[in-house]
Amino acid sequence: MKRKVTLKQIARELDVSISTVSKALRNSPEISDDTIQKVQAFAKLYNYRPNNIALSLKNRKTNTIGILIPEIVHHFFSKVIRGVELVANKRGYNVIIGLSNESFAKEVINMEMLANGSIDGFILSISKETQQLQDYHHFNETMSQGMPIVMFDRVVPDIKCDKVIVDDFNGAKHAVEKLIENKCKSIALITTKDYVSVGKLRTQGYLDALEESKITPQAELILKIDDNLDYEVHLEKLEAEIEQLFKSNKKIDGVFAVNELYAVSAMKVARKLGLNIPNDIQVIGFTDGVLSKHATPSLTTVSQHAQQMGEKAADLLIDKLESENEDEDESYHTVVIPTELIERKSTK
């Protein structure tokens, strides 16, 4: 089991100094052609590759960016990662991933681990627990140490950093407007508790769309799900709540749900109650994941362009990283990614 070959070993074998080897490999004019040939041949033979860790230490730059997300088993986050990876690799950066599992403590620990030299900057979406606690000291500390942060999707408005967000408000609003256009008279909303920032914004979009059409929102048509439950497990509970909603409001003919799962569950319950989609009830969801595409009927949904978000976030971060030396650009951008209503079979 050989170790990786280093400059020092090459130098010893060829009886030259380390610096000569280093220069020869980079084709320095200081070094004679003879030596360059010799060194490069030897390096190729032994498959020499510079040690990234040593380079990072010397350059005080890791060329690695850290992604910190609440959960990876989610189409949305996976796609964001994909976008980040795409442009990061294109621009010569690696990607390292931390998972908070929606926990504040894990978010803090993960940040500290990565912040101590492992990465040059963060791309993150904050955990639900952090949103509840509203404790953002770790973000501020990290940034005060000169490490840039780009937040996406679930952001904290007060924190000064670059942000990439979905136009949750208008995405929701347009979806509900679509339902209204399609003659829905009694439109239910299935959303999360208010502390989830995106849920709140989508709820506001729903309300705004109703108001603009002079429809008075009715509290009993709004179902707020406790999103702390792991719905992989508590699927029945979710469905029971939706069933209750439908049963006590028989006139519901449209549903807007703030995520895929709620929408698909609503369709399932509706079908169980003997309702036809889209004839009796039309349904629109949020997030264009696999569920929407392959549900029966396929689900009309608000697409967030997750991959594009990831790409944009990575570009913002790398721009900041690479500008830092030249000009101390202390301005922060918030990029809003427009949503798109993808019409499928769950609406008329």
Partner DNA sequence: TGGCCTAACGCAAACGTTTTCGTGTTTATA
Partner DNA sequence: TATAAACACGAAAACGTTTGCGTTAGGCCA
**Interaction of residue 16 with DNA, rule CB under 7 A:** yes
Measured from the CB atom, the residue of 113 and 156 that comes closer to a copy of itself is 113
User: SS3 string of the chain?
Assistant: CCCCCCHHHHHHHHCCCHHHHHHHHCCCCCCCHHHHHHHHHHHHHCCCCCCHHHHHHHHCCCCEEEEEECCCCCHHHHHHHHHHHHHHHHCCCEEEEEECCCCHHHHHHHHHHHHCCCCCEEEECCCHHHHHHCCCHHHHHHHHCCCCEEEECCCCCCCCCEEEEECHHHHHHHHHHHHHHCCCCCEEEEEECCCCHHHHHHHHHHHHHHHHCCCCCCHHHEEEECCCCCCCCCHHHHHHHHHHHHHHCCCCCEEEECCHHHHHHHHHHHHHCCCCCCCCCEEEEECCCHHHHHCCCCCEEEECCHHHHHHHHHHHHHHHHHHCCCCCCCCCCEEEECCEEECCCCCC
Compute φ and ψ for 47, nearest 5 degrees. Answer: 55, 45
Q: Which stretch binds DNA (CB under 7 A): 17-25, 90-98, 277-285, 318-326?
A: 17-25
Compute φ and ψ for 215, nearest 5 degrees. Answer: -100, 130
Of a copy of itself, DNA, none, which one does residue 326 interact with (CB within 5 to 8 Å by kind)?
none
Is residue 210 a contact partner of residue 216, using CB atoms and an 8 Å limit? yes
**Interaction of residue 270 with DNA, rule CB under 7 A:** no
Of DNA, a copy of itself, none, which one does residue 78 interact with (CB within 5 to 8 Å by kind)?
a copy of itself
As measured in angstroms, the least distance from the Cβ of 198 to a copy of itself is 20
The number of helix segments (H) and strand segments (E) in the chain equals 14, 12
**Interaction of residue 20 with DNA, rule CB under 7 A:** yes
CA distance 107 to 109: 6
Token duo for residue 332: 């922060």
Measured from the CB atom, the residue of 141 and 208 that comes closer to a copy of itself is 141
Measured from the CB atom, the residue of 2 and 251 that comes closer to DNA is 2
**Interaction of residue 44 with DNA, rule CB under 7 A:** no
As measured in angstroms, the least distance from the Cβ of 326 to DNA is 17
Of a copy of itself, DNA, none, which one does residue 219 interact with (CB within 5 to 8 Å by kind)?
none
Strand partners, 283: 255
**Interaction of residue 26 with DNA, rule CB under 7 A:** yes
| Residues of the shown chain interacting with a copy of itself in the complex, contacts defined by CB under 8 A | 1-4, 47, 49-54, 56-57, 62, 64, 72-75, 78-79, 81-82, 85, 89, 94-99, 106, 110, 112-118, 141, 144-146, 232, 235, 261, 264-265, 268, 271, 289-291, 293-296, 328
As measured in angstroms, the least distance from the Cβ of 239 to DNA is 53
Measured from the CB atom, the residue of 29 and 274 that comes closer to DNA is 29
**Interaction of residue 58 with DNA, rule CB under 7 A:** yes
Q: Which stretch binds DNA (CB under 7 A): 13-21, 82-90, 215-223, 271-279?
A: 13-21
Measured from the CB atom, the residue of 54 and 133 that comes closer to DNA is 54
Measured from the CB atom, the residue of 31 and 84 that comes closer to a copy of itself is 84
**Interaction of residue 19 with DNA, rule CB under 7 A:** yes
Q: Which stretch binds DNA (CB under 7 A): 29-37, 66-74, 151-159, 271-279?
A: 29-37
As measured in angstroms, the least distance from the Cβ of 216 to a copy of itself is 33
| CA of residue 103 relative to chain centroid, distance | 16
**Interaction of residue 120 with DNA, rule CB under 7 A:** no
As measured in angstroms, the least distance from the Cβ of 12 to a copy of itself is 18
Q: Enumerate binding residues for DNA (CB under 7 A).
A: 3-4, 6-8, 15-20, 22-23, 25-26, 30-35, 48-51, 54-55, 57-58, 60
